[in-house]
Amino acid sequence: MKRVKYNDFKDKVRTKAVTTMKMLDRSAPRRRPRDQGEAEILVRLAVVSWDRAISSGKLQKKGERRYSLRTDAR
């Protein structure tokens, strides 16, 4: 069995982990719950965004809970 120095191994793993995190480029999930006003505003913004996508033709409503996304629509 190959012998490995623990510190060398740890540094190598840390380097790979940092590289992976940089490639993902995501922030940590929220830990604090949203307050009621912020949640309501986000829901309104989402509804406006969906309505705009439907009216522009980028999103087509196929049924009650089914949609089709057109990627070539502007």
Q: Which residue range(s) make up the domain with 67?
A: 36-74
Region 35-54 average pLDDT: 94
pLDDT band at 22 (very low <50, low <70, confident <90, very high): low
Counted domains in the chain: 1
Higher pLDDT, 27 or 3: 3
Question: 57 and 63 in contact (C-beta within 8 Å)?
Answer: no
Does residue 23 sit within a domain? Answer: no
Does residue 21 sit within a domain? Answer: no
Res 42 pLDDT > 90: yes
Res 1 pLDDT > 80: no
Does residue 57 sit within a domain? Answer: yes
Does residue 74 sit within a domain? Answer: yes
Pull the structure tokens for residue 66. 């089914």
Q: What are the backbone angles phi and psi of residue 44, rounded to the nearest 5°?
A: -60, -45
Does residue 20 sit within a domain? Answer: no
Higher pLDDT, 61 or 12: 61
